[in-house]
Chains A and B, each alone.
Chain A
Amino acid sequence: MTATSETIDLDQVDHGRCRSWPFLQDYCVTCALCAGSCPASGIDGFDPRMLVRMVSLGLVEELVEARWPWICTLCGKCENVCPMEIDIADLVRKIRSLRDREKVPGILYKGLAAALETGNNLRLPKEDFIFIIEDVAEEVAEEPGFEEFKAPVDKKGANLLTTIHNKLVNTHTEDLKHWWKIFHAAQEDWTVTSENWEGTSWGYFTGDDAAMKVMAGRIVEQMEQLEIKNLLWPE
């Protein structure tokens, strides 16, 4: 976003339009601690302070169409330092939610649609998922000290259910092993589910609360069916 030479007539601007939002953006004292702490500050000119100010002034359409809200990583450093306790990350999510779903950046839009349809962002079939899990488990079992290792799938009554980030059954299968070795060493009674195992919730990143609810609901459903008490949701 850059400075425009076009003059905005304040007679045409309704400053109150976002006032009902619960993020306290109107308290901004423009101190710029947010901009100073933001790891994404400066990418494409991204400036969280400017974003907060534009919402406060009611200039929200421009933000909805801009790339800015999608540069933010929602890490929340800005709200940690904000002296006025403005919920800047949630404010960014809110702006993301106002964009037409078709205009949500490609991978997020497609991934979320896939997750809602198939239970995971990759559209990975159940058999393939189980194959990958078993394959990685065998590799772990080949390592000294882990000879007995097995990755339990859909184990009823397990103590702990862990979700899986889709990249761990895609490009980063090695990273599964770290978790599993810890479980093994701690003698944890754990399991993964063969369906709806997706640990990411791109409803969160796209500001789609309804999608988040669906994804979380599925996990809860699985826990109830398998009578599992605890959930590890590393996302």
Chain B
Amino acid sequence: MKDKTLIFGNGPCAHYLAEDLLSTGADIVITTTDKTCNFSPSEHSGSIEILTDTRLVSCRGSVGNFRILAARNNKEIKRTVAGVIVAEEDQRKSNFSLYGLKASSCVITLSQAKELLLDSSHKQSIFLKAKKVVFLTGLVKESHPAITEEIMHSALRLQSDFNLQTYILTANLKVAADGLEALYRETKEAGAVYIKFTDTRPEIHSKSDDSVQIEFVDEITLKKFKLTPDISVVDETIVPSDYAADLSRILGVDADADGFVQADNVHRFTVFTNRKGIMTAGSSRSIQTCGDQITDAANAALVSAGRMAGLQIVPEDRAEIDKGQCIRCLTCYRLCPYRAIALNTRVVVEPHACERCGICAAQCPRGAIRIKHLEPESILNQIPKGYNPQKEVAFTPFIVAFCCSRSAVQARELARCMGHELPSGLKVIEVPCSGSISFDHIYGAFERNADGVMVLTCHEGNCHSEQGNIYAKQTVAQIMDMFLQIGFEKKRLAVQTLASNMATEFAEMVNRFEANIIELGPSRLKK
């Protein structure tokens, strides 16, 4: 089967991507809501189909076999593709209201200023008569390096070509992109004045004749200044397009807090989403600069090209649903962070999409889901039966710590390398995701003579399975509730979050926990 990839988008990033994929010989489908698409590929070996004025309706299946349903003029379009890449453009929202200003002849947006500066004739430019131009950015909402770059370029032009005095009023100055520090220096050399606000904010007054007066205290010199700009330029917030927001909903792909098509989760960077085979690149995931967009497109194309290799073999160790046990409650469908549960005539797992996190198996109320080597009994077999260090002279608590492979296990390794002293009765059990820890795991550990059980997981927002750590916390909270009712010390159970580099914190956590358990004495459940 030839690798066919569907690209959403019609901007530079989508076009770079299309070019890259075609050059590897892949077949592509470009879909856009635009009426036209001016992508003209250079010589290539792959085939290309362009669907304009088209919107996605649904996307079923999994990596290697996505079944796409789209609509164009109320007509259905169906395609089957191996991969999907979202490379939609973003939008700009002007920030007048954030600064209590209204658009007028002397209060304009950054995009307007850029456009005016593009006009090489200058003849009608409002900048010709002006003496002072103020840029307002990031004072109410965080700015973006791409916006900072545009402001700096504009200020540089105004200083050098129009001989204007420019002021850039900003909170944090976002210079964390390639070349921005150099550009900053250039603007300073040209005479732009930056006023940075940390603890205070400027007072911006809009007068009846639309003119603007700004009063502020410069936080470095502690002096009060009054500034009457001839033109005020307000910054813009970069937001995802409405269609991109639709796409993330229809595709079942996690979006970040601002709605961009990628969760703000380190495990997804650079171009991945929670759904295997669905990637996102460029503006869709809030990447702005031209260079970064090209890199993003290339990354997505690379991943896409390498994907086919892994698809020949159906993995055996993925989740499996026992059809006799399944009561179709759809808990797994609801909880799977990778959208690996498909609803066919019965509920099944898409093996290529499954990442073996274990959340479905832990949460299934019927215990109908099994993942090879991850069943409670295989995990608990790591705790030797009849193990009871209490028989030794002093009480050495036996502590079972279920540790997420991506964070706590790494932190423990590091703690050992750094020479931290760890409890001698600590047994670390590695699990792919703390979301795989069920009641059975925790009860099982107590049954096997644990004096205390810890669940150590990733920080919130850092979970590879997006919600696994939250499910783990819920599970632990429920068990603690039960402990309270039956009169068993709930202090014997703990759930805490860690990052992989937190060795010292790991040692502190387990040692503090051990101290608590020593205070409680041996568990009454011990045999």
Residues of A within 8 A of B (CB): 2-11, 15-16, 19, 26-27, 29-30, 49-50, 53-54, 56-57, 59, 84
Q: Which of A7, A15, A16, A84 lies in contact with B224, CB distance below 8 A?
A: A7
Q: Establish whether residues B189 and A10, one from each chain, have CB atoms under 8 Å apart when the complex forms.
A: no
Q: How far is the CB of A18 from chain B (nearest CB, A)?
A: 11
Given contacts A5-B224, A7-B224, A27-B185, 11 further A-B contacts (CB under 8 A): A7-B226, A8-B224, A9-B226, A10-B226, A11-B228, A19-B191, A26-B189, A26-B191, A53-B218, A54-B221, A59-B223
Contacts of A19 in B (CB 8 A): 191
Q: Are A30 and B225 in contact (CB under 8 A)?
A: no
Using known A-B contacts A15-B165, A26-B189, A53-B218, determine if residue A4 contacts B223 with beta carbons closer than 8 Å: yes
Task: For B167, list chain A residues within 8 Å (CB).
Answer: 10
Known: A15-B165, A16-B191. A10 touches B221 (CB 8 A): no
Count A-B contacts at CB 8 Å.
56
Q: B441 contacts the other chain (Cβ, under 8 Å)?
A: no
Distance from A10 Cβ to chain B, minimum over Cβ atoms (Å): 5
- Determine the residue in chain A with the shortest Cβ distance to B165: A15
Nearest chain-B residue to A6 (Cβ)? Answer: B224
Known: A15-B193, A57-B221. A7 touches B228 (CB 8 A): no
Contacts of A59 in B (CB 8 A): 221, 223
**A30 to chain B: which residues have CB within 8 Å?**
196, 220
B220 touches A49 (CB 8 A): yes
Q: Mark B224-243, 1 if CB is under 8 A from A, else 0.
A: 11111000000000000000
Assess A26 versus B222: contact at CB under 8 Å? Given A10-B227, A57-B193: no
5 A-B pairs (CB sep. < 8 Å): A8-B226, A26-B188, A26-B191, A50-B220, A53-B218
Q: Per-residue 0/1 for B322-360: is the Cβ within 8 Å of any A Cβ (1 yes, 0 no)? A: 000000000000000000000000000000000000000
CB-CB nearest in chain B for A30: B220
**Nearest chain B residue, comparing its CB with the CB of A51:** B221
B 277-292 contacts with A by CB, 8 A? none
Given the known interface contacts A19-B191, A30-B196, A50-B220, the answer about A8 and B225 at a Cβ–Cβ threshold of 8 Å is yes
* B215 contacts chain A at the CB level, 8 A cutoff: yes
Quick check: A10 and B225 within 8 Å, CB to CB? yes
B182-220 interface bits toward A, Cβ cutoff 8 Å, 1 = contact, 0 = none: 001100110101001000000000000000000101101
What residues on B are CB-neighbors of A56 within 8 Å? 193
Bound Cα distance A26, B218 (Å) = 16
